[in-house]
Amino acid sequence: MRTRTIRGGLPWYKRKVFRETVKIISIYALLIGGAFLVMIPFFWVVSTAFKRPGQVLKFPPVWIPSPIMWSNFPKALTILPFGLYFKNTCIITFSTIIGQLLSASLVAYGFARLRFPGRDIIFLVALSTMMVPPQVTMIPQFILFRIIGWLDTFKPLIVPAFFGGSPFFIFLLRQFFMTIHPELDDAAKIDGCGFFGIYWRIMLPLAKPVLATVGIFSFLWTWNDFLGPLIYLNSMNKRTLSLGLNVFAGYYSTYWNLLMAASLVVLSPCLIIFFFAQKYFVQGVVITGVKG
């Protein structure tokens, strides 16, 4: 039998492989080009953080500074008490993460496993709150926290996380709990476990990937939060990194190299979390059932 060929004498199956290879190379080239365009502002931030003041606005742009000014970082971080701001931000962020994980998972477990009148309606009402703009509830919350004397404290930024947290986290965790087979609950009940024991000993260990996803989102949202600290924190010694960076930009906006150095330091924890914890984020999104 004769093999069907194309121009140049290539068999038809080699032509198909050639087309698939060209398609894959084209897709990757397009993705790499798009990623490079998106990363240009970040490259400029990193480059500017190491420049001398005279190189910042030079045209054509100087992408590789010479000499590299490592002194920009200690100089920028000592103008304002960024160490204190870092401490305040860590207290608020990690307290919020703990509150979100505990309360959102407990509420989600109730919606997924407990049967009570109006459960689905209450769940829909909780989800509907995601459509309410935060500007609508901003003033009532401020008045409430002022009445109970929580202004200029960390409590308005931390305590709400221990009462259910974000409805998005409740939805995410509830959907994951729904995929866990109820037979695990029945087996635990036979062994004498109550509802809380099932939640603590079975549900939470199985939900580690989605809990990691919730923790990552909570960290990023809280670490970068600017509006909340701006509304409730007034004292200089209670500011967060986002507020401190805003004050720094107001007083030293002409010193772009110092501003970019401070911004890079504030941004670095988010970058570290992204690079080292992205596998947990992917697992939390793609897992749809019980392994095995």
Asked if the model's pLDDT at residue 10 lies above 70, the reply is no
**Distance between CA atoms of residues 133 and 109, nearest Å:** 26
Tokens of 36: 């490079």
Helical packing angle, 241-251 and 256-286, nearest 10°: 150
**Distance between CA atoms of residues 109 and 128, nearest Å:** 19
- Written as one letter, the residue type at 79 is I
Query: Tens of pLDDT along 213-223?
Result: 888 889 989 99
Q: What pLDDT is recorded for position 93?
A: 94
| Contact (Cβ atoms closer than 8 angstroms) between residue 211 and residue 204 | yes
CATH topology of domain 72-286: MetI-like fold (1.10.3720)
Query: Tens of pLDDT along 258-279?
Result: 888 888 888 888 888 878 877 7
Query: Tens of pLDDT along 25-45?
Result: 999 999 898 888 888 888 888
Asked if the model's pLDDT at residue 289 lies above 60, the reply is no
Q: What pLDDT is recorded for position 282?
A: 66
Q: What pLDDT is recorded for position 250?
A: 79
pTM assigned to the model: 0.82
**Cα-based angle 42, 272, 206 (whole degrees, multiple of 5):** 135
Query: Regarding predicted confidence, which is higher, 10 or 79?
Result: 79
| Contact (Cβ atoms closer than 8 angstroms) between residue 177 and residue 203 | yes
Query: Tens of pLDDT along 153-197?
Result: 999 999 999 987 788 889 889 988 888 888 888 888 888 888 888
Sorted by where each begins, the domain ranges of the chain are 7-49, 72-286
Asked if the model's pLDDT at residue 3 lies above 50, the reply is no
Provide the H-helix boundaries in the chain. 12-49, 53-56, 72-79, 82-113, 119-128, 134-147, 155-158, 167-179, 183-190, 195-198, 204-206, 208-223, 227-232, 241-251, 256-286
Q: What pLDDT is recorded for position 290?
A: 41
DSSP 3: P
Asked if the model's pLDDT at residue 90 lies above 90, the reply is yes
CB atoms within 10 A of CB 194: 10
